[in-house]
Amino acid sequence: TDGTPWWKEAVVYQIYPKSFNDTDADGIGDIPGIVEKVDYLDELGVDAVWLSPVYQSPQADNGYDISDYRAIDDQYGDLEDWGQLLAELHDRDIRLIMDLVVNHTSDEHEWFKRSRRGEEPYDDYYYWREGDPETPPNNWDSFFGGSAWSYDDEREAWYLHLFDEKQPDLNWRNPAVREDVYDMMNWWLDRGIDGFRMDVINLISKTEGLPDGDPHGGLVGAEHFMNGPRVHEYFSEMIGQTIDTVDREIMTVGETPGVSVEDAREYVGEDGDGLSMVFQFEHMGVGDGDSKWDAGEFDLVEFKQIFERWQTGLAADGWNSVYLSNHDQPRSVSQFGNDGEYRQESAKLLGTFTHTLHGTPFVYQGEELGMTNASFESIDELRDVEAINFVEEAIQDGDAEDYDDVRDAIEAVARDNARTPMQWSADANAGFTDGEPWLKVTDNYADINVASERESRDSIFQYYRRLIDLRHDNDVLIYGDFELHYPDHESVFAYTRTLGEDRALIVLNWSDEPTTVDIPDDIPTDDLELAIANQDVSTGVNAQFELQPWDARVYLTE
Ligand code: TEU
């Protein structure tokens, strides 16, 4: 459909560079390694790549701690390699979205080095508070455990870090900080990129005075740093001074922990702050206790309610993103599907789901293969600062005797599950590296890898290619109005999409058990044809759906 932004009709593929493909045998993925695989992305059929950070970084948080925004970290290559990647992607009509991490920098960034020395104008680039070295200025928690404050002996003051202590929060109240960020964004836009994924961008405005948070909150202080008082002012100013100055359509996706549909409506769309879309997290926490580490039972009815709210809430004047997986979440087939007996069927069902909703689908590297969570025998196998802190804190607080007491939680939701090397082949290290991988390869790589899935006609990879084609070829799947059916059914997720005369009916049996459901009589079915299914089905649509475990079907009007 001409005139609409390209990103509404795109499928985006997320690459976590450290784990994608290593060409210099240092056990770490690199940019030449991505260049080597651009034809793979083209074969899959994706329209854009979201590249997690490749900037200079001490790697405290795998690159989400940036020490130079205008330099590529040596472990990934250099700006010339990056330029070649951009050219190779653009040659194949694949766009490049870069990760923008500006809620915080690394503590090794020049700005912070000068700030801790009290050097103007950098002295006010971060949140510094004088005070008793034993008592943090307020009770806020870090996302990574512990206090959100660290005491700096050089400046003899506390500084705020919502994440690791090596990730000091930038003081966005300071116009000089905002100007420096916008200059950097324009520097990348001038290099021809097609958009930004904006890391925790709704955390950049904090309540004036940084008051204590509700001590009983899940993440203490969150009400004072999520969707803060000046966030719209900053978003509008940022978009106005960067994105809007470029004469090509730029996609922005804000990563916005704690965002509601109402917040999102203010962030996205013409009448909002001008973001293209946001990543929301409500569906990722279904069944959780008061933290991700005590993940409970998946509840499909709640999951359906969340998606109905977002699908209808942003349909009119906004746009959705749709994802089930990324570098911070467990592997989707392990979290939302069945990574054992029904791995193939459930991975295809999840792909069917993400490619038939309103909103841009995001495929995380390996999701198109049905890559699974990994086993982690000991804390020594972990690399993620969030996971390691969690284990150490649980033992220190007496909540666990040793690692084995928290191993199940780690293997269920630790971020390292999503960061094991991309599985290219059954060769050593899954063909990811000729060196020692920085993080272990998941044991099942001999069975789950690109080489084997490329060969087999009904692999998850081939099914994803068909899904992407199906979405590209049917505007009803992109723009159609969403309507949920069987809202209270505990294992069937069924919905229709309607665009003018075109209709789609999607029926998913999100369970290990066969089930039979009547077709709702408000769905005309005589003009529907089966367009794709993840298992053999009796074609045609009769009065009942007899669904096998993890059955996924898409019916379209001819
Ligand atoms: O993630 C923000 C964030 O909230 C994550 O910490 C996520 O919600 C949490 O890990 C789930 O338990 C972004 C990046 O995606 C993440 O990789 C970074 O660690 C974080 O910001 C800090 O930059």
Q: Are residues 437 and 517 in the same domain?
A: no
Specify the amino acid at residue 461: F
* Domain end point (choices 437, 465, 493): 465
Provide mean pLDDT across the span 373-396.
98
Query: Given this model, what pLDDT does residue 290 score?
Result: 77
Final residue before a domain boundary, out of 438, 465, 492: 465
Question: Is 417 part of any domain?
Answer: no
Q: What percent of the chain has pLDDT over 90?
A: 92
Q: Which atom of ligand 1 is nearest to the CA of 163?
A: 22
pLDDT classification of 404: cutoffs 50, 70, 90 = very high
pLDDT value of residue 540:
57
Residue 297 counted as domain residue = yes
DSSP 165-231: TTSPBB-TTSHHHHHHHHHHHHHHHHTT--EEEETTGGGS---TT-PPP-TTSSSTTHHHHSS-TTH
pLDDT at 291: 85
- A 10 A CB-CB count for 175 gives 9
Whether residue 142 lies inside any domain: the answer is: no
Beta carbons of 14 and 362 less than 8 angstroms apart: yes
Residues 53, 90 contacting (CB under 8 angstroms): no
- Between CA 187 and CA 6, with CA 76 as vertex, the angle to 5 degrees is 50
Alpha carbon 382 to chain centroid distance? 20
Residue 315 pLDDT grade (very low, low, confident, very high; cuts 50, 70, 90): confident
Q: How many domains does the chain have?
A: 2
In a shared domain, residues 443 and 500: no
Q: How far apart are CA 323 and CA 357, in angstroms?
A: 10
- Rounded mean pLDDT of the chain? 96
Print the domain residue range for 512. Answer: 477-557
Beta strands in 205-264 (DSSP E): 251-255
| Residue at 340: amino acid letter | G
CA of 147 to the centre of ligand 1 (A): 16
ipTM exceeding cut-off 0.85 for this assembly: yes
Show the CA angle centred on residue 40, arms to residues 418 and 54, nearest 5°.
50
- Rounded Cα–Cα distance for residues 57 and 125 (Å): 19
Range 401-405 average pLDDT: 97
pLDDT tens digits along 1-50: 467 899 999 999 999 999 999 999 999 999 999 999 999 999 999 999 99
pLDDT recorded at residue 234: 98
Query: How far is the C-alpha of 415 from the C-alpha of 284, rounded, in Å?
Result: 13
Non-local CB neighbours of 89 within 8 Å, separated by 6+ positions? 38, 41, 49, 95, 96
| Torsion from C-alpha of 8, 556, 307, 516, nearest 10 degrees | -160
What Cα–Cα distance (Å) separates residue 524 from each residue in 277, 467, 496? 33, 24, 11
Q: For residue 143, give the nearest of 203, 87, 190 by alpha carbon.
A: 203
How confident is the model at residue 542, as a pLDDT?
67
Shared domain for 455 and 484, answered yes or no, is no
Task: Convert the pLDDT of each residue in 130-142 to its tens digit.
Answer: 999 999 999 999 9
| Res. 463: pLDDT tops 80 | yes
Residues 100 and 231 in one domain: yes
Q: Give the distance (Å) from ligand 1 centre to CA of residue 214.
A: 22
Residue 539 clears pLDDT 80, i.e. is over it: no
Inside any domain, residue 33: yes
Per the CB < 8 A criterion, the answer to whether 486 and 534 are in contact is: no
Question: Each residue of 38-85: pLDDT tens digit?
Answer: 999 999 999 999 999 999 999 999 999 999 999 999 999 999 999 999
Nearest CA to ligand 1 atom 10: 328
Report angle CA 495, 497, 498 to the nearest 5 degrees. Answer: 140
367 C-beta closer than 6 A to ligand 1 = no
Dist. CA 322–CA 363, nearest whole Å:
9
- 156 within 8 A of 129, measured Cβ to Cβ: no
pLDDT attached to residue 36: 98
Strands laid side by side in the 128-129 sheet:
128-129, 157-160, 149-152
Q: Is the CB of 61 under 6 A from ligand 1?
A: yes
Mean pLDDT computed over 180-205? 98
> Would the pLDDT of 270 be above 80?
no
Mean pLDDT for the stretch of residues 312-318: 88
Q: Hey, what amino acid is at 318?
A: G
**What would the two tokens of residue 305 be?**
């309610």
pLDDT at 538: 67
Q: Are 65 and 105 in contact (CB under 8 A)?
A: yes
Instruction: Specify which residues 251 forms β-bridges with.
Output: 195
**Does residue 157 fall inside a structural domain?**
no
292 lines ligand 1 (CB under 6 A): yes
Choosing from 328, 383, 385, 416 the residue with most ligand 1 atoms within 8 A of its CB, the one to mutate for a pocket test is 328
Same domain assignment for residues 216 and 296: yes
**pLDDT at residue 195, as a whole number:** 98
Q: Which of 67, 141, 143, 256 to mutate to test the pocket of ligand 1 (most atoms within 8 A of CB)?
A: 143
Task: Note whether 319 and 296 are same-domain residues.
Answer: yes
pLDDT score, position 521 = 78
pTM of the prediction? 0.98
- CB-ligand 1 contact for 169 (6 Å cutoff): no
Residue 124 lies in a domain: no
* Residue 191 and residue 235 in one domain: yes
Distance of CA 284 to the CA centre of its chain: 10
Identify the pLDDT of residue 477: 98
Same domain, 461 and 488: no
pLDDT at position 284 is: 95
Q: Are 422 and 448 in contact (CB under 8 A)?
A: no
Looking at the fold, whether 438 and 505 belong to one and the same domain comes out as no
Residue with tokens 């991975």: 347
Looking at residue 246, its pLDDT comes to: 97
Does 160 reside within a domain? no
pLDDT at residue 434 greater than cutoff 80: yes
Tokens standing for 434? 């000729």
On whether both 187 and 222 belong to a single domain, the answer is yes
Residue 40 is part of a domain; what is its CATH number? Answer: 3.20.20.80
Identify whether 162 is part of a domain.
no
Both 452 and 493 in a single domain? no
Per the DSSP assignment, residues forming a β-bridge with 82 are none
Residue 547 has pLDDT above 90, yes or no: yes
Which of 465, 495, 521 is the last residue in one of the domains? Answer: 465
Among 471, 505, 511, residue whose Cα is nearest residue 10 = 471
Q: Which of the residue ranges 303-312, 360-369, 541-550 would you say has the lowest mean pLDDT?
A: 541-550
**CATH number of the CATH domain containing 497:** 2.60.40.1180
Atom 5, ligand 1: residue with shortest CA distance: 328
357 three-class SS? coil
Asked if residue 372 and residue 457 are part of one domain, the reply reads yes
